Amino acid sequence: MKRILLLLLGLCLCSCGRYGCGVPAEYEPLLDAALADSPRADSLRQLLRDTPRDERREMAFLLAYMPRGDRDTMRLDLLRENVEYACRARRTYPWTRALSDSVFLNEVLPYAAVDEVRDSWRADFYARFARRAAGCRDMRAAIDSVNRNICADVQVEYNTAREKTNQSPAESMRQHMASCTGLSVLLVDALRAAGIPARFAGTPAWHDDRGNHSWVEVWIDGRWYFTEYYPSGLDYAWFLADAGKAPADDPAHGIFAVSFRPTGERFPMVWNEDSHDVHGVDVTQRYRDLYAAYADNLAAQGTHTAVTFMMYDKPARAGRSDARVAANVDVFCGAEQMGGGRTAGPRQDMNDALRFLLEKGKTYTFRYANARGEAAEVTAEVGDGPVTVTGYME
């Protein structure tokens, strides 16, 4: 009997591998490569040994794939806290327990959304959003609860007066403001704290070079959906038409999502263009398909019509191709933004115009900046047929 016990013990020890029990064998070469040139390799190995056995796979995943800068400088207590609370969320929420290991590791466990400062957000957000997720019947309900309440819970609003683009949660909460990038970081972290697979997404520039935008994707039942910090429903937002027009195979204007695990592609960050530390996935075609299906559905319903917006330098020159002005325009129905775009300039074909699909029977406001940089707007009521709306820079 003693001999059998010793044999079993020996087999158990052998199965543990060089990095200890709980670390899958496939991680060993990855960890070897990651730690080979790290100035604190010994500390990271000790961190892995000190991690509870049932959480070592998660710690090994992070150490194997984290950017070199994080591997060499990130506070070890933040890594411990992140793994502890991510695993706690998996034990707590039924939707997290139902996830595949691959999705949990890459979309719930990561401690960062992009290249923001590495904050100690996980424990705070776990407590902060537990009350929002508690009692939710499924992941969809939990996403809705977190998304609807995050603004009130973190007290951060959209404001381009923020200190920088890629703000961490603590930086945004200290200022009570953030741009779309900082807001998306907040939402990704809040969802992950509630055990919901989430990732940062966006475009470096819209198809008409009107600027960049960031948002969030969530994983539900085997597919990705998009949402924003200010939610309007899954797979619906003011920017859907713009995303649907993104050109395929165009890194400067495509739609990309972040992956913690390397993909062979980088996520383009306009605030840090030279960085290759954040891995990306080109999801342009999915947004093109989503918008095509959305437009086809509206056409079939007959509830929407095409609205064309033309911009000219002055009223006396309206209708002349050489009087057209390229300008950014946003369209609203009340306080809700319905879309945006850039008007055609004098050298574009007259048929190349800014168009929106808008619901019939409603009044819309088209806002832009005039030649003096002042806020200007045009209001139009949309009836049954196609409508052309005209703005002037003068």
pLDDT by residue for the chain (394 residues), tens only, comes to 555 544 444 444 445 778 889 999 999 999 999 999 899 999 999 999 999 999 999 999 999 999 999 999 999 999 999 999 999 999 999 999 999 999 999 999 999 999 999 999 999 999 999 999 998 999 999 999 999 999 999 999 999 999 999 999 999 999 999 999 999 999 999 999 999 999 999 999 999 888 899 999 999 999 999 999 999 899 999 899 999 999 998 999 999 999 999 999 999 999 999 999 999 999 999 999 999 999 999 888 999 998 999 999 999 999 998 999 999 999 999 999 999 889 989 888 777 788 899 999 999 999 999 999 999 999 999 998 889 999 999 8
CB-based contact 188:199 (threshold 8 Å): yes
What's the rounded Cα separation, in Å, for the pair 222 and 226? 14
CB-based contact 340:332 (threshold 8 Å): no
CB-facing half-sphere around the CA of 300: CA atoms within 13 A: 6
Contacts by 130-137, CB closer than 8 A, 24 or more apart: 130/92, 130/194, 132/194, 133/93, 133/194, 133/195
CB-based contact 368:386 (threshold 8 Å): no
What's the rounded Cα separation, in Å, for the pair 258 and 384? 42
In terms of Cα–Cα distance, which of 124, 179, 178 is closest to 153?
A: 124
What's the rounded Cα separation, in Å, for the pair 142 and 26? 34
The conformation of residue 73, written as its DSSP 8-state character, comes to H
What's the rounded Cα separation, in Å, for the pair 55 and 321? 65
Helix (H, G, I), strand (E, B) or coil at 24: coil
